[in-house]
Structure 1
């Protein structure tokens, strides 16, 4: 499973990875998922859970648009984590919107490892 996650992160990451392989940490991914990140524009702090929730087997709802977000857990939504281009697109977009910056390769690996445990 770690090899597949690392493959997805390598494919999804626009930044060059360090020459050493990253060890994906689902516990770190879970902690990052619920961590609230202050927003530069003064709007309320956000976390991944703000839109996706803490139970990844349930649907979420986008905080700004109200659009329903299908469950993140591959166990109930097999399409999740199945398309490397979509993974790259959504990690880039969501990291920028939530964290205010691109996620590091290690953060991406950790988030993916956490999501895959659900």
Structure 2
């Protein structure tokens, strides 16, 4: 099996199991995930707009730093951090928390799949 097919299959399996999404409903789009990653979302409380880049950075092969706690966030890129995206419960937990904190709401199923597919390409 070609590496691209393995990555696509892994994303679909992750999306269908960890995120409880039917795989036939849509295809994950890493380009949309990248766009959502850098998009700045206004905050309801008037604090500065946030994006995923705020804490995780643009280069997912490098550590990030939480904007509030200043704690180091290990790289998200599976290419340098093989543990990333391996625990389905953690993926769902962190997508829920981070979407709420950054977007001000839960991510849609399509957004979750797009973010995961983008991270998987790094």
Q: Same fold (TM over 0.5)?
A: yes
Count of paired positions:
116
Counterpart contact for 1:2–1:23, Cα < 8 Å:
no
For residues 65-90 of structure 1, the C-alpha deviation after alignment (integer angstroms, 9 at most, x for no partner) is 10000000000000000100000100
1:94 maps to what in 2? 98
- Offset, 1:12: 3.2
Query: 1:106 and 2:85 equivalent?
Result: no
2:120 maps to what in 1? 116
- Offset, 1:4: 2.0
- Residue among 84, 91, 105 paired with 1:80: 84
**Structure 1: gaps of 5 or more residues:** none
**Structure 2: gaps of 5 or more residues:** 1-6
Given the two structures, how large is their TM-score scaled by the length of structure 1?
0.91
**SS where residue 27 of structure 2 aligns?**
coil
Relative to 1, partners in 2 of residues 1:78 and 1:8: Cα closer, same or farther, differing over 3 Å?
A: same
Counterpart contact for 2:16–2:23, Cα < 8 Å:
no
1:41 maps to what in 2? 45
